[in-house]
Amino acid sequence: MPANKPNQGNFDELLGRALQMHSEPVPADFTERVLRQARELDKRRIVSRVVWQGRLALAGTILVGAAAIVGVVALPGRVGALLSSIGMGFTERGGALIDRFPQAVGVVRNEWQLYAVLAVLLGFAVYFFFDMLLSDRAKMA
Amino acid sequence: MVDDKWEQHGEDNGLRLLCSGDHEAFSRFVDKYKETVFLCCRRLGLREDEVEDVASETFMAAYKGLSRYGGRSELSTWLWSIAYRKGIDCLRRNRRERQLEDEQETEIADGTEHVPAVVTEDRETEQVVWEAVERLPRLWKVAVILHYREEKAIADIAKIMDTRENTVKTYLFRGRQKLREMLGEALGEDYNAGK
């Protein structure tokens, strides 16, 4: 019994004992029903999550597309130079890439805002791609 | 009162599984506490059709909130506070809140009319005590049950009932006094030695 009970004695003991012996009737299938509700809630949560992921992925796709269009329209020179430098980079040999590394760092430093935006968009796209393809399958399993 | 299966899994492990959303752990949790939740709902005076709904709501609220349960209070105290709040909300929805407050005075005045029958060999003492407790006003009844049956400290009862500790002490004092009066005639000298 807790220490701060107002009075002690036979009456308290009797009361405690009597109340603890009481058994409250509960419907036989109550646990199963609550468990069913919990499972339904989980399913609704997963569906809601998938719907939101779909919406976000769609928003991400639109955003990437819009950013690309805005980039091409507003900064055609920069985007052209960037794409050509990326294309050149892919065709370069490893040794040449190493030689050009300080130059590439210089280019990134000069145009860091553009690279930052591209990096965020790329990260966004990759995250949603993997989230949509892998994580929900794992959750469903 | 303690479920063996729950104990077998260990409290910590059971709690960890429960908080992670494990259905088996949740099933054990419901099995362990369903009687307590029904007890709370019925003692608050909910109708039988409301009792099951509120009990289900309580467990579903617990299921949703388990990931946020920080262990600051005992799991049973936490669940009691949800059940109590849901029960009171149900009473409020049905505009029985005023009745809840009014009956504290009125029922006590009528209490002597409901003295339990004298205990005979056929009637268990426990049954008589329980019947007397059932005649207390709802809030006194809940406080008495929490203290004597669930062995909760005053501070925990205050937390569950969302009230001050002094109010709980008053409920307990008056409830105990009323039970003494009611049971005095029914149980005779069996317990009066401790008076």
Residue B101: predicted pLDDT:
54
Residue A21 lies in a domain: no
Is the pLDDT at B15 greater than 80? The verdict is no
Distance, in angstroms, between B91 CA and closest chain A CA? 21
Residue A18 lies in a domain: no
Per the model's pLDDT, the better-predicted residue between B25 and B107 turns out to be B25
**CA pair distance B9, B105, nearest whole angstrom:** 47
Residue A116 lies in a domain: yes
Residue B167: predicted pLDDT:
95
Using CB atoms and an 8 Å cut-off, which of residues 74-133 of chain B contact chain A? 125-126, 129-130, 133
* pTM score: 0.66
Is residue B60 within 8 A of residue A34, CB to CB? The reply is yes
Per the model's pLDDT, the better-predicted residue between B97 and A99 turns out to be A99
How far is CA B30 from its chain centroid? 16
Q: For residue range B141-156, list pLDDT tens digits in order.
A: 999 999 999 999 999 9
Handedness of CA B134, B138, B144, B146 (dihedral sign): positive
Which percentage of chain B shows pLDDT scores above 70? Answer: 74
Q: For residue range A70-129, list pLDDT tens digits in order.
A: 877 787 777 777 777 776 666 655 556 566 677 777 777 777 877 787 788 788 777 777
Is residue B58 within 8 A of residue B82, CB to CB? The reply is yes
Is the pLDDT at A141 greater than 50? The verdict is no
Q: What share of chain B is helix, strand, coil (3-state, %, to 5)?
A: 75, 0, 25
Residue A71 lies in a domain: yes
Tell me which of A31-35, A121-125, A129-133, B153-157 is least confident.
Answer: A129-133
Per the model's pLDDT, the better-predicted residue between A45 and A129 turns out to be A45
Q: For residue range B16-73, list pLDDT tens digits in order.
A: 788 877 888 899 999 999 999 999 999 998 988 899 999 999 999 999 988 778 777 8
Token duo for residue A133: 């393809």
Q: Exposure of B131 by Cβ count < 10 A (0-12 exposed, 13-18 middle, 19+ buried)?
A: middle
DSSP notation for B84-123: HHHHHHHHHHTT-HHHHHHHHHHHHHHGGGGPPPPP-TTS
Residue A98: predicted pLDDT:
64
φ/ψ region of B188 (left if φ > 0, alpha if ψ in -120 to 50, else beta) reads left
Residue A108 lies in a domain: yes
Number of domains present in the structure of chain A: 1
DSSP code for B68: G
Q: Where are the alpha helices (DSSP H) in chain A?
A: 10-21, 30-74, 76-91, 94-110, 112-130, 136-140
Residue B152: predicted pLDDT:
93
Residue A1: predicted pLDDT:
44
Angle, vertex CA A53, rays to CA A52 and CA A55, nearest 5? 65
Distance, in angstroms, between B52 CA and closest chain A CA? 8
**CA pair distance A32, B68, nearest whole angstrom:** 24
Residue B183: predicted pLDDT:
83
- Average pLDDT, whole number, for chain B? 79
Residue B66: predicted pLDDT:
84
Residue A132: predicted pLDDT:
66
Contact A25 B180 (CB under 8 A): no
Token duo for residue B28: 């054990």
Largest interatomic CA distance in chain B: 53
Residue A128 lies in a domain: yes
Q: Exposure of B11 by Cβ count < 10 A (0-12 exposed, 13-18 middle, 19+ buried)?
A: exposed
Choose among B23, B56, B145: nearest Cβ to A33: B56
**CA pair distance A40, A46, nearest whole angstrom:** 10
- Domain B103-188 CATH (choose: 1.20.1090.10, 1.25.40.10, 1.10.10.10, 3.30.1370.60): 1.10.10.10
Per the model's pLDDT, the better-predicted residue between A122 and B76 turns out to be B76
Contact A18 B125 (CB under 8 A): yes
Is the pLDDT at B1 greater than 60? The verdict is no
Residue A13 lies in a domain: no
Per the model's pLDDT, the better-predicted residue between B101 and B160 turns out to be B160
What fold does the segment set B1-94 form as a domain?
Answer: Rna Polymerase Sigma Factor; Chain: A (1.10.1740)
User: Can you give the residue range of the structural domain that contains A40?
Assistant: 30-140
Residue B137: predicted pLDDT:
92
B145: which chain A residues are within 8 Å (Cβ-Cβ)?
19
Domain range summary for chain B, segments of one domain joined by +: 1-94, 103-188
A35: which chain B residues are within 8 Å (Cβ-Cβ)?
23, 26-27, 30
- Between the CA of residue B175 and those of A18, B132, B186, what are the distances in Å? 15, 10, 17
Average pLDDT over residues A60-78: 79
